[in-house]
Amino acid sequence: MCGSTIQLGSVTNEAGKKPPWWAEIRILEGEIALSHPLEIDATVELSLRDTGPLVHILAETKKAVRWFHRLLEIKDVTGTARMQMGVDGTRFDSIDITGEHLHVEGFMAFGDSHEHALFHVRFHGIGLAIELREGEHHFTLIKPRKWYEERLKLAGTLTNQRHGSGMRGPLPVKRVVSQ
């Protein structure tokens, strides 16, 4: 599994007004358990030409996104995260994403009975911390780094008490680093 890559290339829209879009996801290390349901514990790397198609999909469902569509189209996006997927849901830890005027770090976990995400975002030099939990959202522009770190500590405590925000705990992983 290490070194495996999923590539989307030469993606165009019907109008063909923009250059072809591309994306790549690479598995840096990890393991897949071919069970039912599938279990994955992996560190992944992401590269996108830009966020355009993702923003377009959100704009179809969220009115507010339509207003900020151009602002949210970020070029040269790269990032890494640890992904765990199992019977109780999916979790992304150590999210670290950068792009044109953007840096995002945080985690998110979701499944049938839970959802929790916490992010620290710097966009065009402005900091913001956001937490989404069970349908409620909280955010701050005032000392966002401090607020994020405090919420992260609390989330870590909750995660340890609940064994991974609903996950059964870490999946057994054979650490293999691709060359």
Rounded to the nearest 5 degrees, what angle is found at the Cα of 118, between the Cα atoms of 68 and 126? Answer: 45
Could you give the C-alpha distances from 47 to 6, 30, 70, 77, 114, in angstroms and in order?
Answer: 11, 19, 20, 6, 28
Could you read off the pLDDT of 73-127 as tens digits, one per residue? 899 999 999 999 998 899 999 999 999 999 999 999 988 888 899 999 999 999 9
Average pLDDT, the chain: 82
Could you give the strand order of the β-sheet that contains 114-123, starting from the edge strand earlier in sequence? Answer: 5-11, 21-33, 39-50, 75-86, 89-99, 102-111, 114-123, 126-133, 136-140
Q: What is the pLDDT of residue 66?
A: 65
The pLDDT of residue 166 is 39
Q: Which of 164, 37, 155, 42 lies closest to 113 in space, CA to CA?
A: 164
pLDDT grade for 35, boundaries at 50, 70 and 90: confident
Peptide bond into 37 cis (omega under 30): yes
